[in-house]
């Protein structure tokens, strides 16, 4: 490396972004994620109708195809659902609930899993062996089954479902964090600060944790996408959110019964929104995965 | 070698015990089972009598031991809903699910692995990019939604394939199988494709990642420098190098597909255990839930055990008299 | 036609199109090679020597590309040849041996199967014939009991044996040319000596021409007839080995030679890399000089220290072992009852081959590992005794590691990394830290304004300077150096050696210098201890041990080091 490259500070994050930007697909996917996040947050402002305001509901407008001009001259660009709600608005609100579930459950799983994984790697010995055994045991069990049984046992509700999703997913974070932290712990720079010596909490927070982040970010993107898909699946199966929280999965489920009668839009459009979101998140995650895989670096 | 197998078997046994305890606590200790067994309006006498009869007045550990003892005799209790022994109920539904799962996983492996190897071999080619795009879709699109689309496309619009059920079956050793009749196969095709989609994406990606790494390795470079043809390099070197992760995923995915069948069976009205568990969850049919969870745990642990043995067969570094 | 050269490379240029622009890895290289000739291709990392080798056999992966020039083998142009025709030449007329034998052989296939595949690549052979030929190939490279070893897997072989297998595969079709890319760099010096000798004999016997690519002038000198010196993708000097190494014409060749510690008087600054670095900051008031425990007293004492590494066995495994159904997991005795001592201000060199336990011993001295038995003491206070946490004493011992790419936290500005330890232990206040860091950066020859940069913005040599600054900023009395120059190019190595010599003098440091490189240790250290299989087999004043070794292992080790020819 020449002196020229020292001309200005390049933080690892700036370098990461410069590399990320090279993939146009990934940048487009990121834009989609940010956009969807934006419309989800500001759904009440963006949506043409508040679909859950009973004053807006006109039963004669129910199950109308896309483009139908409803009561009050309003055009339902994606049609209406079984209750006569504007589907486009319902999708925006559904997106909001789906994203909320995915992000909260994902964050919770991240915090619990990473604490356990890095903690185990740092502590070592029998405590490490015990924690990782439990995690491995859980990983051998499919997440969907765990979430299914937990949400059935805990009952329906937002909090219960978040708990079930997080419980089904934290183990992936724990395994990844443990693997990364074990690798970092064996590296010279950690041995150097251990020999300085620095206090243990400082070594973990300042040295080990930041360097475990790249693989964890990959897992986080995948798991948020998975949490959203899982929530949709559970809601579709009728053991997810209560009817008062119409997520995208619930919208799809509601439309399922009209599908065979040709009113495909009630189910298909929320599905497309869901897939767009998950595909975009996964594309971003995929790019980051390729970037952080040292074995593909030449 | 013998020691290794023995250790693994013992481990599997311990894990099975832990699972049974977890399932027991999870399903039986949460909520009051007595409320499920009898209505709220029965007299106090009957209530106490029922509690005593089901041993619910015993301490938890004693209840667990009783539960364990019954399971060892193959007694999982009676289904509240169907009123028949749970084991019998599950065994009658199991072949349908096994058939579906096997078809899905084998199909996914047969298509996914070659596609993945190709995409990893020529990562910058157009075909590789197409394969990867499809695999991202398969990875992202929820199984239930694909099921819906498959039904609309092939059952409703094109009317090529039936939308649900098992179709005609042939009994072998008093077990019914669909794949032996043309009609059965036509019923199997859509649900299997639905279930396979996610696995297909997973195996493609795994095979691609492994191949990509292997192609950059010194082993492959050295083989090329010795003048080996690309085909030989792929077949003899790369395939061996990526075999272990593929076998692992094949095994684990088989087990998790068994669980994922829940969704597909619901959509396609496939009369397997997945449909059964969803019904029992919604009706809180606890004996069925317990038996199902124990069965899935058992299958999981057995597959883990077999995968572990397969490692020893595949990786010469593990073969040395079982010392790891 | 008989005088025509075997290989003629003309104006060869191989470029890589990377993110940062086009890298001209090989930039107009021309040379020729006669039948049976042995040519050394020497250069530092990034000089393009390996890429030249890969260009000759047409194995350049994208984004690399041969952009111009020609490679002629017996007059036949190889550049631009269709893939199938090139493949027919690879392994048959030209073959190649790679650097790391741990990576080149497929761990999943037996040695016999891998040799068989290479045989089939160019010949139709029956099963029995294949086996016979494979056994003969192993016998040719002196692998004992070839008829049973053929069914072994690579992991059952040592590094040296694996490299012999790779050579056997390369020789299989009696090629006209073998290209060896740093074939002994990953091996211990005694194995290197064996392979060098065998290779020399084999090519002479078979009449095969050889291109020996290496960063090490001494190994090239001991095998090659001719040598080409490469720098920045160009050949700077070519000629007969003796002439180039004793009367170099090009200043770069001279510089390479001058940077070698083996050619300088021990303890002196090396000609290359003499810097005008600033003086290190004075001893901090908060870190007072410890009371001198009498001149000549033992400063660092290592007493009967031992360390074992064992795979952890679970309860189940122990049960099965008890029942006699499984063997216990192997136990590795890394360090076995080692005692040594260092006087204040002394530099002790700890020499050994890989697996000798020298790094483990160094980490126990530095308080990174706790010894299983015995004790390490600094001025009478324990650093860390069996099973304990590090003592306060540990702050007075700091470590410099081998790999400068691994020893700095990639996500921390180097200034923060240097200040971290002193701040945590109250040696400096937050207000003083920036000035203190700047002084240290200047002292190790870096621009003080670099404090805000991240490690990835520095070269290997610069990173090693940062690592030295970080260790010394703790104002230690003792510094453990674990192969600090092993992964650096020779000219950078010379700079770091000079820096260490200078700082040691100015700060009165006590050094434990761990290395596999006998010449570096001789140059830097007053005393030397030779480690072999966890034990110290010989120790004494450096001059005495080198000139008059007593122990059999030491003798073998010294004899295995290749020597440069000296101008007469």
Prediction ipTM score: 0.82
Q: Which two tokens stand for residue B56?
A: 């619910």
Rounded CA gap, B97 and C361, in Å?
59
* Residue C453 covered by a domain: no
User: Do B288 and B201 sit in the same domain of this protein?
Assistant: yes
pLDDT, position B322: 37
User: Do B107 and B145 sit in the same domain of this protein?
Assistant: yes
User: Do C114 and C87 sit in the same domain of this protein?
Assistant: no
Rounded CA gap, A278 and A266, in Å?
19
The answer to whether residues A161 and A97 touch, using CB atoms and an 8 Å cutoff, is: no
The sign of the torsion formed by the CA atoms of B19, B25, B31, B32 equals positive
Residue B319 pLDDT class (50, 70, 90 cuts): low
pLDDT, position B320: 56
Rounded CA gap, C245 and C250, in Å?
11
* Residue B17 covered by a domain: no
Using the 3D structure, point to which of C224, C258, C292 is the last residue of a domain. Answer: C258
The answer to whether residues C408 and C491 touch, using CB atoms and an 8 Å cutoff, is: no
Least Cα distance to A100 among A231, A286, A267 occurs for A231
Q: Do C398 and A15 touch (CB under 8 A)?
A: no
Share of chain B above pLDDT 70, in %: 91
Residue B106: how many CA atoms within 13 Å on its side-chain side?
7
User: Do C132 and C251 sit in the same domain of this protein?
Assistant: no
Contacts of C186 in chain B (CB under 8 A): none
* Residue C144 covered by a domain: yes
User: Do B143 and B50 sit in the same domain of this protein?
Assistant: no
Q: Which domain holds residue C120?
A: 104-172
Q: Give C135 to chain A, closest Cα distance, Å.
A: 35
The stretch A64-93 carries a mean pLDDT of: 73
Nearest by CB: B10 against C89, C103, C316: C316
pLDDT, position C530: 94
pLDDT, position A219: 86
Q: Of the ranges A121-130, C4-13, C328-337, C504-513, which one carries the lowest mean pLDDT score? A: C328-337
- Please check the confidence at residue B51 and state whether its pLDDT lies above 80: no
- Please check the confidence at residue C287 and state whether its pLDDT lies above 70: no
Q: Do B226 and C90 touch (CB under 8 A)?
A: yes
Q: Which two tokens stand for residue A20?
A: 């990320």
Residues near C379 by Cβ (< 8 Å), separated by ≥ 6?
C290, C293, C299
Rounded CA gap, C482 and C464, in Å?
12
Rounded CA gap, C402 and C405, in Å?
9
User: Do C132 and C236 sit in the same domain of this protein?
Assistant: no
Cis peptide bond prior to A197, omega within 30° of 0: yes
| Mean pLDDT, chain B, integer | 81
Q: How many residues in total does chain B contain?
A: 324
Rounded CA gap, B94 and B288, in Å?
13
User: Do B198 and B113 sit in the same domain of this protein?
Assistant: yes
The answer to whether residues C418 and C470 touch, using CB atoms and an 8 Å cutoff, is: yes
User: Do B161 and B50 sit in the same domain of this protein?
Assistant: no
Cis peptide bond prior to A226, omega within 30° of 0: no
Residues near A213 by Cβ (< 8 Å), separated by ≥ 6?
none
Least Cα distance to B232 among C129, C114, C165 occurs for C114
Long-range CB contacts (< 8 A, 24+ apart) of B131-137? Answer: B131/B204, B131/B208, B132/B204, B132/B205, B132/B208, B134/B201, B134/B204, B135/B200, B135/B201, B135/B204, B135/B205, B135/B208, B136/A279, B136/A282, B136/A283, B136/A286, B136/B201, B137/A275, B137/A279, B137/B201
Q: Give C454 to chain A, closest Cα distance, Å.
A: 6
Query: Cα A273 vs. chain centroid, distance in angstroms?
Result: 14
Provide the domain count of chain C: 2
The stretch A100-124 carries a mean pLDDT of: 91
Q: Do B141 and A283 touch (CB under 8 A)?
A: no
The answer to whether residues C157 and B213 touch, using CB atoms and an 8 Å cutoff, is: no
User: Do B46 and B113 sit in the same domain of this protein?
Assistant: no
Looking at the complex, does the CB of residue B111 fall below 8 Å from at least one CB of chain C? Answer: no
User: Do C164 and C197 sit in the same domain of this protein?
Assistant: no
- Please check the confidence at residue B33 and state whether its pLDDT lies above 70: no
* Residue C271 covered by a domain: no
What backbone torsions phi and psi does residue C541 show, to the nearest 5 degrees?
Answer: -60, 140
* Residue B71 covered by a domain: yes
Looking at the complex, does the CB of residue A32 fall below 8 Å from at least one CB of chain B? Answer: no
Using the 3D structure, point to which of C215, C235, C258 is the last residue of a domain. Answer: C258
Rg (CA), chain C: 26
Residue C313 pLDDT class (50, 70, 90 cuts): low
Q: Give B301 to chain A, closest Cα distance, Å.
A: 8
Residue C50, SS3 per DSSP: helix
User: Do C18 and C161 sit in the same domain of this protein?
Assistant: no
The stretch C320-337 carries a mean pLDDT of: 74
Share of chain A above pLDDT 70, in %: 85
pLDDT, position A255: 79
Q: Do C407 and A189 touch (CB under 8 A)?
A: yes
User: Do C201 and C249 sit in the same domain of this protein?
Assistant: yes
Rounded CA gap, C416 and C24, in Å?
36
Residue A2 pLDDT class (50, 70, 90 cuts): very low
User: Do B62 and B180 sit in the same domain of this protein?
Assistant: no
User: Do B106 and B223 sit in the same domain of this protein?
Assistant: yes
- Please check the confidence at residue C242 and state whether its pLDDT lies above 80: yes
Residue A296 pLDDT class (50, 70, 90 cuts): low
- Please check the confidence at residue B207 and state whether its pLDDT lies above 60: yes
List all residues of chain B from 205 to 244 with a beta carbon under 8 Å from chain C: 216-219, 221-229, 232, 236-237, 240-241, 243
Contacts of B240 in chain C (CB under 8 A): 106, 108-109
The answer to whether residues C178 and C210 touch, using CB atoms and an 8 Å cutoff, is: yes
Cα→Cα distances A119→A112, A174, A189, A204, C390, Å: 10, 9, 18, 9, 20
Q: Do A192 and C471 touch (CB under 8 A)?
A: yes
Does C268 or C243 have the greater pLDDT score?
C243
User: Do C193 and C248 sit in the same domain of this protein?
Assistant: yes
pLDDT tens-digit map of B248-274: 778 877 877 887 788 888 888 888 888
Q: Which domain holds residue B70?
A: 31-75
User: Do B35 and B171 sit in the same domain of this protein?
Assistant: no
Rounded to the nearest 10°, the torsion over CA C329, C332, C336, C340 is: -150
Q: How many residues in total does chain A contain?
A: 298
- Please check the confidence at residue B240 and state whether its pLDDT lies above 50: yes
Q: For the beta carbon of residue C491, count every other beta carbon within 10 angstroms.
A: 18
Which of A256-270, B199-213, B302-316, C307-321 tops mean pLDDT? B199-213
User: Do B65 and B97 sit in the same domain of this protein?
Assistant: no
Residue C175 pLDDT class (50, 70, 90 cuts): very high
Does A8 or B98 have the greater pLDDT score?
B98
Residue B79 pLDDT class (50, 70, 90 cuts): confident
Q: Order of strands, edge to edge, in the sheet holding C76-77?
A: C21-33, C7-18, C64-73, C76-77
Nearest by CB: C326 against B4, B14, B216: B4
Looking up tokens 């001893």, which residue turns up?
A: C283
CATH number of the domain where residue C239 is located: 3.40.50.300
Q: Do A10 and C390 touch (CB under 8 A)?
A: no
Nearest by CB: C452 against A9, A195, A202: A9
CATH number of the domain where residue B265 is located: 1.10.3720.10
* Residue B139 covered by a domain: yes
* Residue C380 covered by a domain: no
The stretch A159-187 carries a mean pLDDT of: 88
pLDDT, position A4: 41
- Please check the confidence at residue C469 and state whether its pLDDT lies above 90: yes
pLDDT, position B81: 75
Identify from C19, C409, C414 which residue to disrupt to test chain A contact, counting A C-beta atoms within 10 A and taking the largest count.
Answer: C409
* Residue B238 covered by a domain: yes
Q: Do C109 and B237 touch (CB under 8 A)?
A: yes
pLDDT, position B324: 33
SS (H, E, C) C6-39: CEEEEEEEEEEEECCEEEEEEEEEEEEECCCCEE
Least Cα distance to C280 among C113, C440, C49, C102 occurs for C440
User: Do C135 and C28 sit in the same domain of this protein?
Assistant: no
Which of B108-112, B141-145, B289-293, C187-191 tops mean pLDDT? B108-112
User: Do C202 and C155 sit in the same domain of this protein?
Assistant: no
Using the 3D structure, point to which of C231, C258, C285 is the last residue of a domain. Answer: C258
pLDDT, position C90: 92
Residue C137, SS3 per DSSP: helix
Q: Do B322 and C122 touch (CB under 8 A)?
A: no
Looking at the complex, does the CB of residue C134 fall below 8 Å from at least one CB of chain B? Answer: no
The stretch A128-157 carries a mean pLDDT of: 79
User: Do C182 and C168 sit in the same domain of this protein?
Assistant: no
User: Do B160 and B209 sit in the same domain of this protein?
Assistant: yes
User: Do C153 and C10 sit in the same domain of this protein?
Assistant: no
pLDDT, position A117: 92
The stretch B37-55 carries a mean pLDDT of: 72
Which of A183-197, A273-287, B302-316 tops mean pLDDT? A273-287
- Please check the confidence at residue A70 and state whether its pLDDT lies above 70: no
Rounded CA gap, A226 and A285, in Å?
12
pLDDT, position A1: 38
List all residues of chain C from 300 to 359 with a beta carbon under 8 Å from chain A: 312, 314
Looking up tokens 């700047």, which residue turns up?
A: C438
Residues near C72 by Cβ (< 8 Å), separated by ≥ 6?
C7, C8, C9, C10, C78
For residue C59, what is the nearest residue in chain B, using CA coordinates? B225
User: Do C82 and C22 sit in the same domain of this protein?
Assistant: yes
Share of chain C above pLDDT 90, in %: 34
List all residues of chain A from 229 to 258 with a beta carbon under 8 Å from chain B: 229, 232-233, 236-239, 249, 252, 256
Q: Do B3 and C311 touch (CB under 8 A)?
A: no
Residue C295 pLDDT class (50, 70, 90 cuts): very low
Rounded CA gap, C122 and C125, in Å?
9
Contacts of B26 in chain A (CB under 8 A): 149, 153
Query: Cα C251 vs. chain centroid, distance in angstroms?
Result: 25
* Residue C123 covered by a domain: yes
- Phi-psi map region of C39: left, alpha, beta (phi>0 left; psi -120 to 50 alpha): beta
Provide the domain count of chain B: 2
pLDDT tens-digit map of A13-38: 888 888 888 888 889 999 999 999 99
Query: Cα C457 vs. chain centroid, distance in angstroms?
Result: 23
- Please check the confidence at residue A227 and state whether its pLDDT lies above 80: yes
Nearest by CB: C421 against A191, A196, A298: A196
| Mean pLDDT, chain C, integer | 86
Using the 3D structure, point to which of B75, B108, B127 is the last residue of a domain. Answer: B75
The stretch C530-534 carries a mean pLDDT of: 91
Cα→Cα distances C156→B303, C153, C309, Å: 30, 6, 21
Residue A3 pLDDT class (50, 70, 90 cuts): very low
User: Do B67 and B134 sit in the same domain of this protein?
Assistant: no
Residues near B65 by Cβ (< 8 Å), separated by ≥ 6?
none
Residue B125 pLDDT class (50, 70, 90 cuts): confident
pLDDT, position C160: 86
Residue B73, SS3 per DSSP: coil
For residue A271, what is the nearest residue in chain B, using CA coordinates? B145
For residue A154, what is the nearest residue in chain B, using CA coordinates? B30
């Amino acid at each position: 490396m020449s002196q020229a490259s020292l001309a200005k500070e390049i933080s690892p994050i700036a370098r990461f972004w410069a590399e990320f930007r090279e993939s146009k697909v990934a940048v487009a996917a990121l834009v989609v994620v940010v956009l969807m996040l934006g419309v989800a947050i500001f759904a009440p402002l963006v949506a043409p109708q508040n679909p859950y305001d009973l004053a807006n509901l006109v039963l004669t407008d129910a199950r109308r195809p896309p483009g139908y001009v409803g009561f009050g001259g309003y055009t339902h660009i994606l049609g209406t659902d079984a209750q006569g709600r504007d589907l486009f608005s319902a999708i925006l609100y559904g997106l909001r609930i789906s994203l909320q579930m995915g992000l909260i459950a994902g964050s919770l799983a991240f915090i619990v899993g990473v604490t356990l994984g890095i903690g185990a790697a740092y502590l070592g010995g029998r405590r490490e062996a015990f924690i990782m055994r439990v995690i491995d045991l859980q990983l051998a069990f499919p997440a969907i089954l765990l979430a299914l049984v937990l949400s059935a046992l805990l009952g329906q509700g937002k909090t219960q479902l978040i708990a079930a999703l997080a419980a089904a997913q934290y183990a992936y974070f724990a395994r990844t964090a443990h693997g990364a932290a074990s690798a970092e712990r064996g590296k010279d720079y950690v041995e150097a600060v251990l020999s300085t010596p620095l206090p243990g909490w400082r070594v973990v927070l300042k040295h080990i944790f930041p360097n475990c982040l790249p693989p964890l970010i990959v897992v986080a993107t995948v798991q948020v996408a998975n949490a959203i898909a899982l929530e949709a699946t559970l809601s579709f199966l009728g053991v997810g959110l209560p009817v008062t929280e119409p997520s995208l999965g619930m919208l799809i489920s509601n439309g399922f019964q009209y599908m065979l009668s040709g009113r495909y839009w009630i189910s298909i459009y929320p599905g497309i929104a869901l897939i767009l979101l998950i595909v975009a998140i996964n594309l971003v995650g995929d790019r980051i995965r390729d970037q952080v895989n040292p074995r593909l670096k030449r | 070698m013998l020691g290794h197998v023995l250790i693994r078997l013992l481990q599997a046994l311990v894990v099975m015990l832990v699972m049974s305890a977890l399932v027991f606590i999870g399903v039986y200790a949460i909520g009051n089972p007595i409320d499920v067994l009898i209505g709220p309006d029965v007299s106090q006498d009957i209530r106490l009598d029922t509690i005593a009869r089901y041993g619910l007045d015993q301490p938890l550990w004693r209840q667990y031991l009783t539960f364990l003892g019954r399971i060892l005799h193959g007694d999982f209790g009676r289904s509240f809903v169907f009123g028949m022994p749970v084991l019998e109920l599950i065994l009658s539904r199991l072949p349908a699910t096994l058939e579906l799962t096997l078809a899905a996983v084998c199909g996914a492996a047969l298509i996914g692995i070659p596609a993945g190897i190709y995409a990893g071999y020529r990562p910058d080619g157009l075909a590789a990019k197409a394969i990867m795009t499809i695999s991202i879709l398969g990875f992202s699109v929820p199984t239930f939604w694909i099921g819906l689309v498959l039904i609309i496309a092939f059952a409703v619009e094109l009317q090529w394939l039936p939308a649900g059920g098992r179709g005609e079956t042939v009994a072998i050793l008093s077990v019914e199988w669909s794949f032996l009749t043309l009609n059965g196969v036509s019923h199997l095709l859509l649900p299997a494709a639905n279930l396979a989609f996610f696995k297909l994406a997973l195996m493609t990606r795994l095979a691609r990642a492994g191949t990509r790494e292997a192609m950059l390795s010194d082993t492959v470079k050295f083989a090329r420098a010795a003048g080996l043809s690309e085909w030989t390099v792929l077949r003899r070197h790369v395939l061996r190098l990526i075999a272990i992760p593929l076998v692992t995923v094949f095994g684990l995915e088989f087990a998790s597909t068994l669980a994922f069948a829940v969704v597909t069976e619901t959509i396609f009205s496939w009369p397997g255990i997945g449909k059964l568990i969803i019904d029992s969850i919604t009706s809180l049919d606890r004996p069925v839930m317990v038996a199902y969870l124990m069965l899935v745990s058992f299958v999981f642990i057995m597959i883990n055990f077999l995968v572990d043995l397969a490692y020893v067969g595949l990786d010469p570094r593990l073969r040395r008299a079982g010392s790891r | 036609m008989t005088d025509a050269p075997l290989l003629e490379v003309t104006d060869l240029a191989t470029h890589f199109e990377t993110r940062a622009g086009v890298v001209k890895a090989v930039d107009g290289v021309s040379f020729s090679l006669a039948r049976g000739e042995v040519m050394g291709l020497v250069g530092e990392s990034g000089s393009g020597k390996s890429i030249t080798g890969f260009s000759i056999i047409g194995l350049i992966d994208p984004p690399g590309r041969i952009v111009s020039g020609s490679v002629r083998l017996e007059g036949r142009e190889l550049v631009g040849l269709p893939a199938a025709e090139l493949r027919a030449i690879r392994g048959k007329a030209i073959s190649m041996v790679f650097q790391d034998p741990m990576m080149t052989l497929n761990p999943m296939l037996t040695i016999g199967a891998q040799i068989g595949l290479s045989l089939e690549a160019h010949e139709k052979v029956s099963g029995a014939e294949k086996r016979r030929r494979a056994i003969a190939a192993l016998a040719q490279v002196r692998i004992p009991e070839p008829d049973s070893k053929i069914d072994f897997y690579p992991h059952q072989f040592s590094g040296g044996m694996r490299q012999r297998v790779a050579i056997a595969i390369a020789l299989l079709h009696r090629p006209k040319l073998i290209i060896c890319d740093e074939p002994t760099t990953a091996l211990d010096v005694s194995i290197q000596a064996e392979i060098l000798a065998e290779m020399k004999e084999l090519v002479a016997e078979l009449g095969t021409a050889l291109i020996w690519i290496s960063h090490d002038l001494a190994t090239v000198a001991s095998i090659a007839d001719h040598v080409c010196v490469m720098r920045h993708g160009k050949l700077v000097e070519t000629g007969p080995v003796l002439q180039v190494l004793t009367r170099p014409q090009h200043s770069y060749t001279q510089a390479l030679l001058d940077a070698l510690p083996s050619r300088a008087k021990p303890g002196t600054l090396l000609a290359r890399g003499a810097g005008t670095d600033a003086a290190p900051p004075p001893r901090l008031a908060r870190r007072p000089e410890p009371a001198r425990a009498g001149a000549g007293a033992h400063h660092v004492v290592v007493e009967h220290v031992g360390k074992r590494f064992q795979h952890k066995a679970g309860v189940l495994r122990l049960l099965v072992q008890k029942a006699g159904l499984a063997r216990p997991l192997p136990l590795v005795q890394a360090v076995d009852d080692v005692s040594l001592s260092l006087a204040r201000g002394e530099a002790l060199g700890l020499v050994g081959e890989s697996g000798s336990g020298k790094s483990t011993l160094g980490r126990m001295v530095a308080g990174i590992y706790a010894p299983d038995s015995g004790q390490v003491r600094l001025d009478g206070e324990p650093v860390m005794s069996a099973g304990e946490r590090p003592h306060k004493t540990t702050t007075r011992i700091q470590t410099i590691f081998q790999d400068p790419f691994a020893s700095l936290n990639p996500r921390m500005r180097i200034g923060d990394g240097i200040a971290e330890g002193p701040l945590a232990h109250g040696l400096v206040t937050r207000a003083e830290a920036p000035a203190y860091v700047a002084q240290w950066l200047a002292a190790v020859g870096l621009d003080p304004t670099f404090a805000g940069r991240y490690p990835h913005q520095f070269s290997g040599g610069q990173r090693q300077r940062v690592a030295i600054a970080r260790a010394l900023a703790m104002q230690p009395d003792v510094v453990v150096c674990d192969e600090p120059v092993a992964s650096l190019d020779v000219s950078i190595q010379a700079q770091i050696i000079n820096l260490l010599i200078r700082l040691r003098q100015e700060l009165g440091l006590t050094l434990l210098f761990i290395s596999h490189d006998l010449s570096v240790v001789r140059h830097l250290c007053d005393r030397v201890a030779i480690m072999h299989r966890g034990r110290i087999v010989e120790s004494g004043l450096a001059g005495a041990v080198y000139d008059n070794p007593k122990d059999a292992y030491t003798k073998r080790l010294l004899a295995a080091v290749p020597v440069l020819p000296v101008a007469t």
